[in-house]
Structure 1
Amino acid sequence: MSDLPFTSATSQLKALRSGEITSRELLEVYLQRVEVHNATLNAIVTLDADRAREEADAADAARARGEDRGVLGGLPITVKDSYETAGMRTVCGRKDLADNVPRQDAEAVSRLRRSGAIIIGKTNMPPGNQDVQADNPVFGPTNNPWDLTRTSGGSAGGGAVATAVGLAGFDFGSEIGGSTRIPAHFNGLYGHKATWRSIPLVGHIPNGPGTGRWADMDLACPGAQVRDARDLAPILVATTGPMARDGGFSYTLAPPRARRLSDFRVAVWYDDPSCPIDTDVSGAIQEVIAVLRAGGAKVTIQPTSLPVDIATSHRAFEPLVYAAFGVDRTGITPRFAAGLAARLLQHPRGDALAALRGTFQSHYSWLKADAARHEIRQRWQEFYDEFDVVLMPVTPTAAPPHHGKLIDRFGRHLDVDGSKRSYWDQTKWNAIANIAGTPATTIPVKRNAAGLPVGVQAMGPAGGDLTTVEFAALVGAELDGYQRPPAFAK
């Protein structure tokens, strides 16, 4: 039983189906761990133990009657606090929503429930999803279980920590520029960003609450963080598909392009002057290359046919992401505005200017960025005639220290092998898949000298979610893969 909370979701589901364990027993294992460890980590910010127990008992009773409870039948999970959950507080890190209790589930949450998942609680995040670390004025920061002085990443940092230390079967999150992949990389997990618009974001904040809940936030995608790459398959099966309002439109997950490393055609891209990486991340890339070559994969380093460079992709990303976030302006307080003005004076052409322009741009400017996005998407589609996946860094470094600058978003920096870089470089490699609209899966590779996890990511063709998942599973099996954080292993 001591190993159970660290096993894969697929193995737990198998044990549930066979009767080796009940949903209630598995839930109690997780709840006990939440009681012991969550105060130190601050991963789960709202817990609904009573309702979870009722649902677990109902799942067990249904299973005893021989009823099919779905692909996630009886599995306890957590959900990022940006998804509306009926009868359960949904704060999204915002003070104005501190007491917000929705009356209905987000569409993805509803699908998870219909597939049998039991939601234990909600996980921590930054206000409005607008940061690459999980810290907010309502709940405070989430700590990295590998080093409590370091960030868990974001925006889905709370969910990554909850999954890494065995507080739930997995966490269901969302992202717009790496919000599932960055925390997965920092905490030693597999993290997945789904193909754009394959899973509805209706009931996600932003754009909700209110009438905005019915809109899909531009660029954003659901995703999940798991301990085993193949855990992602049932999650995708449970949640992928159109809204009923879309009528005849349908979306079907394509099968994996390959099931052996020797059959994968892999492009490796890790050298770009717009976003240099440190020796730890470069070393992780080299370790994966060695595994691929040993496994017989066709590997091409820095192919000349790459559709874009980072600078080109990011020029399209910035106005689109700030326009998407511009729906939620609750964070534009006098203190934030003062900090933004100060950074504009210090660096008149820096990140603060891009944020200001993107938030208040004209519709005409947005249309130009949107057109650039779709032209890049077309180039990527053509690129995947030649390759199956692209191996890339997730961020330039392992998890950096907590920064303590919740308001001053553009006053932070990242140390990349002694070079001072923008803190927002953490989004650049990730935003490539957000612009392309394609799936991407992180792979835990190794631990650095400080004992921190270091991962990479595989990006694949639109609709090819199961291709990047299978690739991640095959590669991860040859490397460290998921390891339980030692301080929270008992």
Structure 2
Amino acid sequence: MSDVAFRSAVEQLRALASGEVSSQGLVELYLERIATHNTALNAVITVDAERARREARAADAARAAGQDLGPLHGVPITVKDSFETAGMHTVCGRRDLRDHVPEQDAEAVKRLRSAGAVIMGKSNMPPGNQDVQADNPVFGPSSNPWDTTRTSGGSAGGGAVATAAGLAAFDFGSEIGGSTRIPSHYTGLYGHKSTWRSIPLIGHVPNGPGAGRWTEADMACGGAQVRDARDLVPILQATVGTADYDDGFSYTLAPPRATRLADFRVAVWSEDPSCPVDSDVAGAVDDVLTVLRSAGAKVVVQPAGLPADIATNQQAFLPLVYGAFTYDRTGLTPAPNAALLARLVQNPRGDAGPALRGTFQSHYQWLKAHTMRNELRQRWFEFFQDFDIVLMPVAPTAAPAHHNKLIDRFGRSYEVEGVRRPYWDQVKWNAVANISGSPATTIPVRRGRSGLPIGLQAMGPGGGDLTTIEFAALLGREVEGFVPPPAFR
């Protein structure tokens, strides 16, 4: 059964349909693995075993009666702790929500349940989604299953660990600047950021319960972390669609633009002076270039017509992301405020300055960034008339070591080829898709010098989720793909 724990969700769905396994059997397997391994990983911070067992029994009974509950019928999953779950703690890494138990599901959670998913528990994250690691004052940090001295990334780091270590079939999460893609890169998974607004985020609670559940943060998207790219298809089938209220927006999944690597038109963007990458990431790019060229794909490296460089993209991204975060002001307490001001004095050109300006910006300042975002989105729309995929790094390195600076967020750094770089560089390559609103899917390509996973991401046209997923699935067959962490087999 240990092999079953690491099967893709699609393979598990086939096994459930054939009667090889039952939903009850899968739930017991994952509950046992959580009991065995979660102490070392701290990935799953809330478990509702009895409810999961009841739902699994109901899923098995429905299948025996010939009823189809949906595309995720009977699959046991975890959900990022930023989504409301009725009757189950939703803490979002915040001390003020330590005892919060919602009375209703978030819209995406409701859709997952309606599609037959069995939600076993909640996965760890930073307070209010606002960090690049999964660590918070309520539950502590999640550790990377490839090396527990390393971070899992964030914000959906706990879910990535649970999926990579075989504690759940997959984790459903969210992101605003790489929160699904960064942890997937660090733990060797396929991670997906959906097209902006394709999955309603009603009940996604970084902004708090009550009226806050209706605040869908700018640029925030639903997503998931999986062991096989094609697992993302039933997840999107279950969750994509117009919200119940009528705001004039509708979304449907478009078919993939190509179904063979040879037929994809790929722009490879792997270098930018604002965010250099190390030799492991560069090596992964070289590996993929070899595969694509051998397959006969149209490949253009560093195309001249890219709509923006990293520095230009950041000019739009930083005001918008800090604007999105300002609704939740629970983190603006004396200790982090003092640390922010201290870092601003020490390094006026560092990351503390944009954070302070963005948190207290005027509406006019926000509108300037929004206008720039709209212009960049149009440029990307035009760019994707000639290309299907932009292949780029996820982060500059493999997973860095844990940082224990929950308060001093702008006092961190890490090294890229021996050169100290700002900790928040980890977000920069990801922010491109958050500004464009495009879907993006990570692909585990190889392991680096330290033995840690190295991934790349495929960004596609707005609405082209199935295009990036199909590309990731096809490419994943030709590179290393997902490998279970040896210590947790």
Q: How does 1:161-200 map to 2 (within 5 A)?
A: 161-200=161-200
Deviation at 1:478, TM superposition (A): 0.4
2:222 paired with 1:222 = yes
2:158 maps to what in 1?
A: 158
For residues 228-264 of structure 1, what are the alpha-carbon distances to aligned partners after superposition, in whole Å with 9 as ceiling and x for unaligned?
0000000000000011212664311110000000000
Question: CA contact under 8 A between 1:208 and 1:214: conserved in structure 2?
Answer: no
Kindly provide the amino acid, as one letter, of the partner of residue 25 in structure 1: G
Distance 2:371 2:209 in 1: 29
Q: How does 1:37-76 map to 2 (within 5 A)?
A: 37-76=37-76
Q: After TM superposition, which residue ranges in structure 1, 4 or more long, deviate above 6 angstroms?
A: none
Q: How does 1:65-214 map to 2 (within 5 A)?
A: 65-214=65-214
Q: How does 1:215-294 map to 2 (within 5 A)?
A: 215-246=215-246, 249-294=249-294
2:336 maps to what in 1?
A: 336
User: Please, which moves more after superposition, 458-467 or 327-336?
Assistant: 327-336
Distance 1:247 1:328 in 2: 24
Structure-2 change in CA distance of 1:472 and 1:103 (3 Å): same
For residues 426-459 of structure 1, what are the alpha-carbon distances to aligned partners after superposition, in whole Å with 9 as ceiling and x for unaligned?
0000000000000000000111121100000000
Question: CA contact under 8 A between 1:23 and 1:57: conserved in structure 2?
Answer: yes
Question: CA contact under 8 A between 1:444 and 1:480: conserved in structure 2?
Answer: yes
Distance 2:226 2:392 in 1: 19
Identity of aligned residues (%): 70
2:28 paired with 1:20 = no
Kindly provide the amino acid, as one letter, of the partner of residue 87 in structure 1: G
Q: Secondary structure at the match of 1:243?
A: coil
Kindly provide the amino acid, as one letter, of the partner of residue 424 in structure 1: W
Distance 1:271 1:142 in 2: 30
For residues 326-373 of structure 1, what are the alpha-carbon distances to aligned partners after superposition, in whole Å with 9 as ceiling and x for unaligned?
111111111101111110111112210100000110111111111110
Distance 1:99 1:30 in 2: 25
1:456 maps to what in 2?
A: 456
Distance 1:119 1:209 in 2: 20
Question: CA contact under 8 A between 2:190 and 2:228: conserved in structure 1?
Answer: yes
Q: Secondary structure at the match of 1:441?
A: strand
2:376 maps to what in 1?
A: 376
Deviation at 1:208, TM superposition (A): 3.1
Distance 2:20 2:3 in 1: 14
Q: Secondary structure at the match of 1:339?
A: helix
Kindly provide the amino acid, as one letter, of the partner of residue 53 in structure 1: R
Deviation at 1:315, TM superposition (A): 0.5
Kindly provide the amino acid, as one letter, of the partner of residue 117 in structure 1: A
2:3 paired with 1:3 = yes
Unaligned 5+ segments in structure 2 are none
1:467 maps to what in 2?
A: 467
Q: Secondary structure at the match of 1:139?
A: coil
1:347 maps to what in 2?
A: 347
Kindly provide the amino acid, as one letter, of the partner of residue 437 in structure 2: G
Q: CA RMSD in A?
A: 0.8
Distance 1:279 1:137 in 2: 35
Question: CA contact under 8 A between 2:384 and 2:460: conserved in structure 1?
Answer: yes
Structure-2 change in CA distance of 1:458 and 1:350 (3 Å): same
2:416 maps to what in 1?
A: 416
TM-score between both structures, scaled by the size of structure 1: 0.99
Distance 2:71 2:187 in 1: 26
Question: CA contact under 8 A between 1:89 and 1:101: conserved in structure 2?
Answer: yes
Question: CA contact under 8 A between 1:193 and 1:221: conserved in structure 2?
Answer: yes
Q: Secondary structure at the match of 2:387?
A: coil
Distance 2:414 2:458 in 1: 23
Kindly provide the amino acid, as one letter, of the partner of residue 137 in structure 2: P
Distance 1:215 1:131 in 2: 20
Kindly provide the amino acid, as one letter, of the partner of residue 389 in structure 1: I
For residues 277-331 of structure 1, what are the alpha-carbon distances to aligned partners after superposition, in whole Å with 9 as ceiling and x for unaligned?
0000111111111110011100000000101111111100000000101111111
Q: Secondary structure at the match of 2:245?
A: helix
Kindly provide the amino acid, as one letter, of the partner of residue 443 in structure 2: I
Unaligned 5+ segments in structure 1 are none
Deviation at 1:18, TM superposition (A): 1.6
Q: Secondary structure at the match of 2:330?
A: coil
TM-score between both structures, scaled by the size of structure 2: 0.99
Kindly provide the amino acid, as one letter, of the partner of residue 78 in structure 1: T
Distance 2:102 2:145 in 1: 31
Q: Secondary structure at the match of 1:390?
A: strand
2:437 maps to what in 1?
A: 437
